[in-house]
Structure 1
Amino acid sequence: MRKSLRLQLLAWLLVPLPLLVLLNTWLSFRHASHTATTVQDRMLLGGLRIIAEQTYYRAGELHVEVPPAALELFESASDDRVYYRVVSPRGTLLLGYPELASPGGSLHAEEFTHFDATMRGEPVRVAALAHPLIGASEPQTVLIEMAQTLRAKRELAAQIWWQAIQYQLIVLALAVVLVWLGLRFGLAPLMRLREAVRERRPGALEPLDTAAVPQELEPLVEALNEYVRRLDRHMAEHGRFVAYASHQLRTALTVLNTQLSYALRSVDAGVREEALQAMREGVRNAIRLVNQLLTLFVAEAARQSGPREAQADLAEVVKQVLEELAPAAQAKSIDLGYEQRGGGALVRGGAAMLHELVSNLVDNAIRYTPAGGVVTAVLEGAEEQVTLRIEDNGPGIPVEERERVFERFYRLHEAAASGGCGLGLPIVREIAAASGARVALSQPPGGGLAVSVVFG
């Protein structure tokens, strides 16, 4: 199943959002609880100060009163209970609920504190204030406490929290919509590029226009254009190859047809024999051309599939080729030699393809070396590489032509008379590339041509 780029981007952008919302919800709950606690603490402290204003000495007597306003601060629909207590400097209860908890330590004058406690089995929030007595003969403080149950506080915290959640859900919905719209508009250039590619006519190899392409898509478009250029070159080479191959085959068949017509019209047995011999040679050349075309096709396929992992003994391949081509060398009185230096000669590649490589090199050397010449196959084995060198004392190849001879069907003027079709060295290069080897041309000290194939 193909993956959607839009869905992947949406996942990367939207999946973290709910997690962030959950984290923010937890933080909002803590903030709402803290805010509700702060409100309750301030209300308790306000009630304490109202009671403190009514706590004083008058005519030598301590006067304590809880005004209704102190209790009216806590009126709400939550039915919270409010408790209070006033304790004298000596620790005696002056007013309120004796079971109300005391703060953990002593308080200085005007000092206050808040703490949590339990009153009659219900949790409460308690505020305590050390109030200095006015009119006392010596500095004294009374402890005033006020407590409230937590129902109103919880309702306030829930109200603040729910309001925060509503805002976050609205923001999340807007974020999803904006992300979707952003992806839709952001991926629009990619969709336009897709349509531009889909609307191209079959066989069109023009490069894509990069002017309207976003910066992030430029590497992709440039890679496509480079591929199109390479494909164009490949198709052009393929077209030339097919044209050259068709021309060569058509020429061979035309010559055969002419020779056959000539033989049929002739009444002289000698002339017919000569025509038949020429036809046989033409058929041989045509067969050789077809075989080389097939070999070149197989070599190209092998090169495109990557270096082969199989190994073969190159020394055995060379010996077999020399035995097969020995009659051709003897027919021209050519000294066909073989030298092996160094260690083993195991190379990467199939034995059949290596046989074609060596056969083309040796056949070319014999074909272009004049009668009475010398052709030598030299095999040098080393630890990291193996080198095969085919040397001859023929006419050689000029330096300026050494790269062109690897082009298909390219032949030198001198080579054209030898009956070759210009595919030998291209086949050698393709097979060498398929085996991870490289081919080089040079001139031996005595003249002629040396073709080196280095494996490794």
Structure 2
Amino acid sequence: MKSLRARLLLSLLAAIALGVLVQAGLSYRAALAEADAIFDYHMQQMAQALRPGLPALPPGDYGPLVQGQESPEFVVQVWSADGVRIYESNGGLALPQRAVLGFANVRAGGSTYRVLSVQTPLQVIQVAQDMAVRRAMARTLALRTAVPIALMAPLLALAAWWAVGRSLAPVERVRRQVAQRRADDLAPVDGAGLPAEVRPLVDELNLLLARVEQAFQAQQHFVADAAHELRSPLAALKLQAQALQRAPDAAAREYATERLSAGIDRATRLVEQLLALARHEAQATAGAPAQPVALADLARQAVADAAPAAQARAIDLGLAPLDAQAEHATVPGHAQALAILLRNLIDNAIKYTSEGGTVDVQVLRAPGHLVLAVDDSGPGIPPAERERVLQRFHRAPAEGAPQAEGSGLGLAIAEAIARLHGARLALGTAPRLGGLRAEVHLPLAGEGAA
């Protein structure tokens, strides 16, 4: 593929060559016409100088008729009124005596002549010029006009080459800047001095580099977090497996097996949450377009999915009745991400609610928003800890909470997904149950707000 420089140079050189050829051709034709007019004028001047007539002398006694004007290129003949040729400047050429008055082209002596015949009271004056000589002289004069124009083509090509190089110098600078970068250098490209036609491309490239850098940082954070959080569960699983191997009797083996199974469940849950966090960050970085999502349907599905875990601990899990507005309202977003948000909030409420407690899920319509609220009858979170628990891997101590081992990712993932949807996860006190209320205000979609 040809470079932009080559395409510009070829286009400019072609335009210059065409322009020079056309201009040279037009100048050549104009110079030929001008030369013809000059020669005709010169013949008229010579004939005009002879209009007074010649004295009656023998033909051989005439000298040059027009001093300084006769030349070998012109032939002069003078005829008397009775048809006798009384003068000729070229004895070997016989022009016809009765030529048409004025200018005419006449064949004589094997050549074509341009002849001017002028009638005076006593004589006919003829001035002739060989057309071959005339054309040769005219071409010489025309070439003297056209050649300088043609010689301008290399200078114009050099100027075009310099102008293209100077105009593309910023582009070449950016190319070298990008080519010399390391693979992990995602800093914005310096677009200073770039042409206005190229600047938007660099701006979009910088936006792409920013998104790639975000994805790269998210990947680094994920790897670091995963390595940090998986180290302890895996070490615990190893210890539990060793305890199972050293169990002295069946009761000890059964107890060790239960501990190992619980450890595997916790590790599985941690891996699931880490993968959910990775999927969310990838989705946020990719900037996938939002779609209208029926939050009521997602809430019903999330409650149904969490029902077995709630029943295992005799927790009353339910979805509060929805009014017609909340039932049919939609929010712009990503259904899979919102489902993860709901699941994490409900799982967190079940985990920290004592057996026999209550967890309520509500979807409420508010002006311009749809409110998702999850209330529980657990111990809640102290106000001083509510902001900190939204950070990754932070576990808040809660008095009266059941012995639940969490990863510290559930609320952090829910907060990140809420931010992706232009909302915030707010933590407070459940007004009826007295435990924790987790509440998200999601902006309504256009059709939901109608």
TM-score by length of 2: 0.68
Q: 1:184 to 1:308 in 2, by over 3 A?
A: closer
Equivalent in the alignment of 1:73: 70
Given that 1:345 and 1:386 are in contact with CA atoms closer than 8 Å, whether structure 2 keeps it comes out as no
Q: 1:100 maps to which residue?
A: 100
Q: Which amino acid is the alignment partner of residue 216 of structure 1?
A: L
3-state SS of 1:449 partner:
strand
Task: Output aligned runs, 1:149-188, within 5 Å.
Answer: 150-177=131-158, 179-180=160-161
Q: Which residues in structure 2 correspond to 1:8-157 (within 5 Å)?
A: 8-52=7-51, 54=52, 68-69=65-66, 73=70, 75-76=72-73, 98-101=98-101, 118-120=104-106, 124=114, 150-157=131-138
Q: Equivalences for 1:4-403 in 2 at 5 Å?
A: 4-52=3-51, 54=52, 68-69=65-66, 73=70, 75-76=72-73, 98-101=98-101, 118-120=104-106, 124=114, 150-177=131-158, 179-180=160-161, 194-195=175-176, 197-201=178-182, 203-204=184-185, 215-216=193-194, 231-232=212-213, 234-267=215-248, 273-307=254-288, 314-330=295-311, 331=313, 333-341=315-323, 342=325, 344=328, 354-368=338-352, 372-378=357-363, 380=365, 387=370, 389-392=372-375, 395=380, 402=387
1:419 to 405, 409, 414: 405
Q: Which amino acid aligns with 1:16?
A: A
TM-superposed CA distance for 1:172, in Å, is: 1.7
Q: Residue type matched to 2:423 in 1?
A: V
Change beyond 3 A, Cα 1:3–1:340: farther
Do the aligned partners of residues 16 and 428 (structure 1) sit closer, same or farther apart at CA in structure 2, a change above 3 Å counting? farther
Shift of 1:156: 3.0
- What is the CA–CA distance in structure 1 between the aligned matches of 2:240 and 2:251, rounded to whole Å? 14
Point out where structure 2 has 5 or more consecutive residues left out of the alignment.
56-61, 82-86, 88-95, 446-450
8 Å CA contact retained: 1:321, 1:359: yes
Q: Is contact 2:116–2:128 with CA below 8 Å preserved after alignment?
A: yes
* Contact 1:429-1:438 at 8 Å conserved across structures: no
**Structure 2 CA distance for partners of 1:424 and 1:445, relative to 1, 3 Å:** closer
Query: What is the identity, as a one-letter code, of the residue corresponding to 1:333?
Result: I
Shift of 1:19: 1.8
Q: Does the Cα contact within 8 Å between 1:334 and 1:366 map onto a contact in 2?
A: no
**For the aligned residues, what is the CA RMSD?**
5.0
**Residues 428 and 143 of structure 1, relative CA distance in 2, 3 Å threshold:** farther
CA distance in 2: counterparts of 1:448 and 1:20, whole angstroms: 80
CA contact (8 A) 1:365 1:392 kept: yes
Match of 1:440 among 384, 407, 424: 424
Corresponding residue SS for 2:406: coil
Count of residues in Structure 1 that have an aligned counterpart in Structure 2: 408
Closer, same or farther in 2 for the Cα pair 1:439/1:350, shift >3 Å? closer
> Does the Cα contact within 8 Å between 2:50 and 2:66 map onto a contact in 1?
no
Q: CA deviation at 1:31?
A: 3.1
Structure-2 separation of matches of 1:82 and 1:56: 13
The Cα shift of 1:18 comes to 1.1
Matched residue type, 1:344 = H
Is 2:64–2:70's contact at 8 Å kept on the other side of the alignment?
Answer: no
- Does the residue aligned with 1:390 lie in a helix, a strand or coil? strand
User: Equivalents in 2 of 1:275, 1:4: separation in Å?
Assistant: 71
User: Per-residue displacement from partner, 1:257-295 (whole Å, max 9, x unpaired)?
Assistant: 223334544547666544443332221111111122223
Asked whether the equivalents of residues 312 and 350 of structure 1 are also in contact (C-alpha less than 8 Å), the reply is yes
Partner of 2:59: none
Report if the CA contact (8 A) 2:352-2:404 is conserved: yes
1:402-452 Cα deviation digits (max 9, x unpaired) = 5x766544554559975332333554466678xx84332235883733123
On the 8 A contact 2:9/2:160 being kept in 1, the answer is: yes
Q: Call closer, same or farther: CA 1:354–1:206 in 2, change over 3 Å.
A: closer
Structure 1 window deviating more from structure 2 (311-320 vs 14-23): it is: 311-320
Are the counterparts in 1 of residues 345 and 374 from structure 2 also a CA contact under 8 Å? no
Asked if the contact 1:51–1:70 (Cα under 8 Å) also holds between the matched residues in 2, the reply is no
Q: Separation in 2 of the partners of 1:260 and 1:189?
A: 64
Q: CA deviation at 1:86?
A: 11
The CA distance in 1 between the partners of 2:50 and 2:280, in whole Å, is 106
Question: 1:251: how far off?
Answer: 0.7
Q: Normalised by the size of structure 1, how large is the TM-score?
A: 0.67
| C-alpha contact (below 8 Å) 1:317/1:355 kept by paired residues | yes
Partners of 1:345 and 1:381 within 8 A in 2: no
Q: Which one-letter code corresponds to 2:360 in the other structure? A: V
Q: Is the 8 A contact 1:361 1:390 kept in 2?
A: no
Whichever residue aligns with residue 358 of structure 1, its letter is L
CA contact (8 A) 1:259 1:278 kept: yes
**In structure 2, how many angstroms separate the alpha carbons of the residues matched to 1:431 and 1:157?**
87
User: Aligned partners of 2:287 and 2:188: how far apart in 1?
Assistant: 28
- Percent identity among equivalent residues? 28
